[in-house]
Structure formats: structure tokens, C-alpha cells
Amino acid sequence: MKVGFVTSTGYPELTPDDRLAADALRDQGLDVEPVIWTDSGDRWRVLDGLVVRSPWDYHLAPDRFLSWIDRVQATGLPLWNPPGILRWNLNKGYLRTVEAWGFPIPPTRWIGRGSATPLVEHLMALGTDEAVIKPVIGASAQGVIRVTRASLADGEAHLRQILGSGDAMVQAFAPEVESAGEWSLVFLGGKFSHAVVKTPRAGDFRVQHWAGALRQGGRISQERGADGHGTRAAGAAALPRGGSRRAGPVCRGHPAGAGWPGTLGLHFGPMIWRNPLSGLTARNKIALLLSVASIALLLPGLLRPMITISASIDAFGKTREIFRQTQSILQAVKSLHESGNDFVAGLILLFSMTVPFVKAVLLFPIMGLADAAKRYRLYRLVSSISKWSMADVFVVGVFIAMLAARATDNLDASVESGFYFFTGYCLISNLAFQLLKVDPSPSSPN
């Protein structure tokens, strides 16, 4: 059986979370392949089913996405979650339906495209001085801003920008998000599975990974939350029926004693559990192996002899060797220090030894961190460090020294095994870093 994981152009090889799920399905004997929903040709028609996983650009072309759903449905190909749920959940107007079911939602003003009503009137109608403005079709907090009475001008401009191309919504800001965070309640097959607490970083209100939010497991029962408040409102995340999985974000601390469902991820999204290393792309797996190899080459490159220099004189028709010295990089640093050349010794120690070693070691947490924001920041740090690595310059310097010595009648030089190990490190570590691909966005925006 062949199953397609629906993804986007930003994740042609699937997200780490998707790859983890794909590996689990392959262990059960299924073939899984990526399907970019915007690709032409509809190559997915030869598959046995589609699972909508990470089409995180759907909100940029919602009409096209709806047409794609129609096209898939017309073929009779199984689609999870079902087409009806995908359409229903595309527009955040579904919160009106949730409210009609009897579940509380944040006080919200629904604003149609082209509306000229000033933002201040919406705030007055909500009875608040602080709100969140967002498009009704959006993902990963794109186009979402927080506005107060002090920032009305910026908020008004942003609202006009959204209304120029679509509908908007203004919701009363829930300060509990900043302190208690947001609970994501995950339902599988209509049954509660697990919960995750997403807490924004200091000074922010967004709970996405790319914004630096912290995610951790939360203990919660079907009936009551960890703070004693009822979470029955989260049952909205289990509706409508027929989907394979659902994730409902709930803000704790609602004054009525229940959770506030903010938005419902009924159509696709992560299960919010992962083994970071198991989700590596083939490209990053190669980078990981090359990183291990580069460290294995670096150590002997530092410790083993690098170059041998000898001097001789011709006297009475005979050549006599008067000087021969073989040194490793570490021995060269030690000799420079003992001769009083601490500055040069320090430069070699820092730029040709310390920086390369730190760069090689940091590649591992870059590929292993589950937090996408931290992973990308570390990647940028290593990228900056690499600019100060003089390992390759050192190799060239040794090679030039050898050529210069050989060009002199009474001097000779030969490179030793340490030179080849260190050169190998330079080539392989640079290749590993070039292959490494780190996305600034998380594996899923929610």
C-alpha cells in the first residue's frame, strides 16, 4: 500500500515530525512518499491514499487549496482528514460554530473584507484596551499582531492591510497566555491522547516554536485540568467527527472557570512528540556522518607530526645535515610560546585549533535540538564562527612553507601524516556544514 504525506514546497522531504511518522508506517509495511500539493501533474493519483500533514502554505492560496481538495475528492482517493473537515477548518469562522455548540470562545469581532469600521470601535465593542488582530485564514501566527490603545495607529494600518485582501478578526487578548501558556490537547480517533503546554518567551505572546516558545508535556485528564478548572470546552477539539486526529489549543484561566478554545487544528499538524535525530533528512544524515569523520580526522591532525624541516651544508665535497625538526601543530604552538612568540602561538591556538573544534562539536546539537528556534540560532552562531576559522589558511601556510624550503638549496621540507589528517578535516568539515540545512521555521507552525 502506497500512502502520500501531503506537504508544501518548503518541506519537499517532509518535516522531521512527518518523517518520524513515515518511518513508523514503513515499519508496518506501508510505502510513504511526499506529495507537494501545489505540484502539477497530480502524481498522487497512483497512490492508495493521502494524509494531509504539512501544507503550511495553504493560507497563501486558500482558493487553490480548496480546489485541490475538490480534485482529490472527485477521484475517490481516501483523504485524511476528510475533505469536509479540511474545508470547515480552513477558515477560523468555524469558531462561530463552536460557540453555537455552547463552548465559550474569546470575545471576537468578525470583520468582512473592505470594512471601514475603525479599530477603536471594535475595541470598544469588545470592552477591552488590548486585542489580537489576525486574518481569518492564516497559519503559524502569520499576520497576527497584538494591539493596545497606545498602538492604535499601527493596529489600524495592519487591520486595513488584512481587509484589503480578505476577512479579519479582532479578539480580546487573553493575558493568561503570557503566564500559564496555551494547552494543546491532542485527540486521536475521537479520544483524548495527550497534552502539551506551549509558553511564549518573555515579552511575546506567540506560542509557535519559531517565535522561541517553550513546549513541554502537560498532565491533564479528560474532565479536569491541572489547575482544577474544567476542560470540557476542549471537547470542541474532537468535533466534527470523522477525522483521524485533532489538536485543540486551550487557554487556561477563563473567568467563567473553563478553558477558552482559541483555534482548532482539525485538518493537519504535528503530534508534538518527536525524536529529533530520527527525523533527519538524508542530506543532514550525511552531514552528521561527515561531522563525526571530521572530528576523527581533527584529533590526529593536531597531535601527529605536520611537517619536517631539515637544513644541510656542502663542505669538502660532502653534504652534512646540521638541522632537522619534526613538529605537530600542538608542538609548534608550544615552541612558539617557549620562544616568546605568544601572540602568534595564541592565533594558531584560537583560529586553527579551538574554533575548528568548537565548530565541529556544535554541529551535533544543531541537528539534535527539538526546539526549531534554538536550533536555527545555534546554526547562525556556527555560521558566524566559521568565518573566523583559519584551519584552511593554516594548511595553505604549511604547504607554502614546504615549497619555499624546497626552493632553497640548503633547506628541505616534507609534510607528514598530520598534514593529511588536518587537510582532510578542513575539507570534510566544510562539506558537512555546506550540506547541513536548517530551516528557521519549525517542523510545524502550530
> Any idea what the CATH number is for the domain that residue 426 is in?
1.20.140
Q: pLDDT tens, 357-385?
A: 787 777 777 766 656 667 777 877 877 77
Residue 445 · residue 208 · CB < 8 Å: yes
Residue 301 lies in a domain: yes
Highest-confidence segment of 112-116, 205-209, 315-319, 395-399: 112-116
Q: Is the pLDDT of residue 66 over 60?
A: yes
In this structure, are 426 and 297 located in the same domain? yes
Q: Is the pLDDT of residue 312 over 50?
A: yes
Helix (H, G, I), strand (E, B) or coil at 272: coil
> Any idea what the CATH number is for the domain that residue 111 is in?
3.30.1490.20
What is the overall mean pLDDT for the chain?
A: 78
Residue 190 lies in a domain: no
Residue 250 lies in a domain: no
pTM for the full predicted model? 0.58
Q: Is the pLDDT of residue 329 over 60?
A: yes
Query: In total, how many domains does the chain have?
Result: 3
In this structure, are 33 and 134 located in the same domain? no
Integer angstrom CA distances of residue 320 from 310, 311, 313, 316, 411: 11, 9, 5, 10, 12
The closest of 210, 212, 115 to 170, measured between CA atoms, is 115
**Residue range 156-185: average pLDDT?**
90
Euclidean distance between CA atoms 205 and 362, whole angstroms:
30
Q: pLDDT tens, 162-172?
A: 999 999 999 99
In this structure, are 64 and 115 located in the same domain? no
Helix (H, G, I), strand (E, B) or coil at 440: coil
In this structure, are 425 and 325 located in the same domain? yes
Q: What are phi and psi of 72, to 5 degrees?
A: -65, -45
Higher pLDDT, 396 or 326: 326
Higher pLDDT, 233 or 107: 107
**Residue range 170-192: average pLDDT?**
81
In this structure, are 313 and 397 located in the same domain? yes
Residue 440 lies in a domain: no
Euclidean distance between CA atoms 335 and 328, whole angstroms:
10
> Any idea what the CATH number is for the domain that residue 45 is in?
3.40.50.880
In this structure, are 411 and 288 located in the same domain? yes
Residue 311 lies in a domain: yes
Ranking 132-136, 329-333, 362-366 by mean pLDDT, the lowest is 362-366
Q: How confident is the model at residue 55 (pLDDT cuts 50, 70, 90)?
A: very high
In this structure, are 284 and 431 located in the same domain? yes
Q: How confident is the model at residue 341 (pLDDT cuts 50, 70, 90)?
A: confident
The predicted pLDDT at position 51 comes to 94
Please report the beta strands in 288-440, taking only residues with DSSP state E, as ranges in sequence order.
307-315, 318-327, 411-415
- Please name every residue paired with 230 in a beta bridge, in sequence order, or none if there are none: 224, 258
Residue 267 lies in a domain: no
Euclidean distance between CA atoms 182 and 248, whole angstroms:
10
Domain membership of residue 388 as a residue range: 280-435
The predicted pLDDT at position 232 comes to 45
